[in-house]
Structure 1
């Protein structure tokens, strides 16, 4: 096996930190032989990473996904880029592809970029635009997903979708192999050193705790879900296949315009997530309070109000996330050997774990302030 150089973005993030932790601690022979290089921004982060992972990690200082010349020059020295830092910066993500393209030459190892994206790319617009009830994106026909996303982004640009389509399109043009894991709702406690929390369940749990009730924009919004460790393992599996196969995964792992894969394990309505948050709060005794409904209640809300309360005013994200149909079927990764370990039992347990984490101060807000207590 040729010596491989792997570059990671997102070492301090939820998905990226979990990936790094599981990669470094893997007992797989192919993985144990590799030192991973991580892009970082501060001395304290670098020190903490080195203290935890020793010589399994090198750190490289950067300014972030806006430093395009640095990204391109740096990526040109690597065989695999694992971009799990953010899926919302199209120019930065494409700069990694341009750097990898410098390595495309006869008899050289084919470079890969493993990108992260998200299910809101797939959401319909049942309030302000067109609804697609019952539609399910299946990654056995990833080209159809790509085509729809490209056409939709031309009509209504959305940064995360723009980045995903941009990476896959440019990679095909430049001869770089690219796969995008279009992730559903990610749950579970992260195992990285820094950010350990997801988004969907924490956001809805915080809303329930603060308001004393849940919200909905409609009755059809849905999410697929995956545990953060299983998502990390999907990236590790792809790396193993690239390292160990004689063809470096080319033709085996779908790539480019055929490379949108869905690491999906289960599916749930948004109202069901809200119900489980309320169930956990009522069982724990956090709810009801004197100023909140005495029964578990989900209130119909308007799009602008939820955008302001939950998504920092971003209407497109609020609608695709909290009203949209984003159903996906993930067939390809299990065929490649992916075996998620966190199933329905773990999903059910998540809500009690999340409430406990917020009460213990392990989330980005002060729990007591949410329930009207003095800090």
Structure 2
């Protein structure tokens, strides 16, 4: 019986992935126990109450405790790392622990890592722009890794440093590692804790507060994927490891070629702002006194958006809200028969759903707090 560890069980992607793994009826999964890393006793109890003996919560203090991570990771055959991709030392500690297990003999251990498309983005407001560049994870296998490694040597970016470091260290130490380089993730999660994405809730809140949308660059783009479809891809990867001969080694791309894009479709950032505006105006929250009476998307400055939305992180804001980061996901569909089902209809519905979630206070802030009045 394989031992599986999942990080990020209290997060958006990790909670949904854990839920999908446990609820799967596939023979290779339905009797598995999954260990999870949590920070509090309350989180552990909530997981036990929901999933019973199918989960085994383990307390930790987080990705900074590298000694604990190494010792813990050495006990597992598969680690699904859906926690933060911005802490290189913590992610590399998982590789070091799995490397220890690899040296002890037995099946090759696997790390399923999460990263993000801003690793590929240009910085078109402060550096050279690449508006027409599109990466394909099949056609450009290997070249994607080489680009990220070269770019990171010139300008380190924590999430990219982590992704490159994990894939490189794993390849050198007998660990099999694949990275899901994710686009914008949307939709209601199915986990027990955080069920919300990032980009659309932030955009919705900004528009409700200000009365208008914002843009940094007309051509800025994102691809997108529903969180449940993304979780389904993690499930397919785990199944391939458990079910295939040689535990997926030589079948699932790893190392320099181990970057997969779980991307479904592409939108402009201005379209996201427009759809948020449509939802808020349709609900009658806008216009109000002191705001534009028509739907409006205003030019914003990079520093303004960094300060208001991204904790002052200018490089993250530029890559995310202004950058070009087009990705085409081919490998997962061909290799694993990944079939995303939450497509254009789910994408359109997302904006209405996110407005309702904001109104109901399910996004960390209530509607009345956004607009500075009480609605009840």
**TM-score of the two chains, using structure 1 as the length reference:** 0.98
Match of 1:88 in 2: 86
Match of 1:200 in 2: 199
Q: Does 1:255 align with 2:270?
A: no
- Pairing of 1:202-221 with structure 2 (within 5 A): 202-221=201-220
C-alpha separation between the residues in 1 aligned to 2:236 and 2:45? 28
Runs of 4+ in 1 over 3 A off after TM superposition: none
Match of 2:338 in 1: 338
* Aligned with 1:43 (options 41, 60, 70): 41
Alpha-carbon offset, residue 106 of structure 1? 8.2
Cα distance in 1 between the residues matched to 2:185 and 2:368: 26
Unaligned runs of 5+ in 2: none
Output the CA distance in 2 between the equivalents of 1:151 and 1:57: 40
Query: Could you say which residue in structure 1 is the equivalent of 2:57?
Result: 59
Cα offset, 1:142, TM superposition? 2.5
Map of 1:9 onto structure 2:
7
Quote the Cα distance in structure 2 between the aligned partners of 1:360 and 1:303.
30
Matches of 1:107 and 1:160 in 2, distance apart? 31
Corresponding residue for residue 74 of structure 2: 76
* Secondary structure, aligned partner of 2:293: coil
- C-alpha distance 72-107 of structure 1, shift in aligned 2 (>3 A): closer
Q: Does 1:361 align with 2:361?
A: yes
Cα deviation, residue 309, structure 1:
1.1
Structure 1: stretches of 5+ with no match in the other structure: none
What SS does the aligned partner of 2:214 have? strand
- Partners of 1:236 and 1:106 lie apart in 2 by 27
Q: 1:291 deviation in Å?
A: 1.0
Separation (CA, whole Å) in 1 of partners of 2:104 and 2:188: 44
Match of 2:178 in 1: 179
Residue 274 of structure 2 is aligned to residue 275 of structure 1: yes
* Residue matched to 2:144: 145
1:115-157: CA deviation from partner (whole Å, max 9, x where unpaired): 0001111110111111112100110122111111111111111
CA offsets, 1:86-122, max 9 Å, x none? 1111000000001001122486111000000011111
- Measure, in 1, the Cα distance between the counterparts of 2:72 and 2:271: 44
CA distance in 2, matches of 1:120, 1:107: 37
Deviation at 1:175, TM superposition (A): 1.3
CA RMSD of superposed structures (Å):
1.0
C-alpha separation in 2, matches of 1:101 and 1:219: 45
CA contact (8 A) 2:360 2:366 kept: no
Relative to 1, partners in 2 of residues 1:79 and 1:157: Cα closer, same or farther, differing over 3 Å?
A: same
How many residues matched?
Answer: 373
Q: 1:337 and 1:10 mapped to 2: Cα distance?
A: 25
